[in-house]
Amino acid sequence: MRKLSFRKGWIPLDGLAFSEDKKFPGEPVLEIITPREIVLPMLQHRGSPAIPTVRESERVTIGQIVGKPSSATSAPVHSGISGTVTGISGIILPDGTGCEAVTIRNDLKRELHPSIRKRKFPDRLSREDLSKLLLYSGVVGMGRDGMPTSVKCRNAERIGVETLIINACQSEPYLTCDIHLIREQTERVIQGAFVLSGLCRVKKVIFCLLDKWEAELQALQRIFREHREKYPDRDLEIRVLRSRYPQGYDKLLIKALYGVELPVDASTEEAMGTVIFNASTCAAVWDMVDRNQPMTSRVISVSSDIARGHNVLVPIGTKIGELLERVPGAGSARKIVMGGAITGVAVRDMNTPVLKTTAGLMIVREHEPPRTACIHCGACVDACPAGLLPYLCERLLRMGESEALEREHIDSCISCGACSYVCPAGIDLSARIGRAAESMRKR
Crossing angle for the helix pair 177-184 and 279-291, to the nearest 10 degrees? 50
Please, what are the domains in the chain? 3-25+117-291 (3.40.50.11540), 37-106 (2.40.50), 295-364 (3.10.20.600), 379-442 (no CATH)
Model pLDDT, residue 274: 96
3-state SS, 274-317, equals EEEEEHHHHHHHHHHHHHCCCCCEEEEEEEECCCCCEEEEEECC
Task: Say how far apart CA 356 and CA 146 lie, in whole Å.
Answer: 8
**pLDDT, position 137:** 96
Measured between alpha carbons, how far is 243 from 120 in angstroms, rounded to an integer?
40
Contact by Cβ (8 Å): 246, 9:
yes
CA 77 vs CA 2, 237, 268: distances in Å:
42, 34, 28
One digit per residue, the tens of pLDDT, for the chain of length 443 reads 555 555 555 555 443 443 333 344 445 567 888 999 999 999 999 999 999 999 999 999 999 999 999 999 999 999 999 999 999 999 999 888 999 999 999 999 999 999 999 999 998 999 999 999 999 999 999 987 899 999 999 999 999 999 999 999 888 888 889 988 998 899 999 999 999 999 999 989 999 999 888 888 888 888 888 877 777 777 889 999 988 888 888 989 999 999 998 888 888 999 999 999 999 999 999 999 999 999 999 999 988 766 667 889 999 999 999 988 877 666 667 788 999 888 888 898 999 999 999 999 988 766 666 789 999 999 999 999 988 999 999 999 999 998 999 999 999 998 889 999 889 998 989 989 999 998 888 77
Q: pTM of the entire structure?
A: 0.89
CA distance 340 to 362: 7
HSE (side-chain half, CA atoms, 13 Å) at 432? 17
Can you give the pLDDT at residue 300?
A: 92
Residue 348 has what pLDDT? 86
Q: Is 168 helix (H, G, I), strand (E, B) or coil?
A: strand
pLDDT of the residue at 222: 86
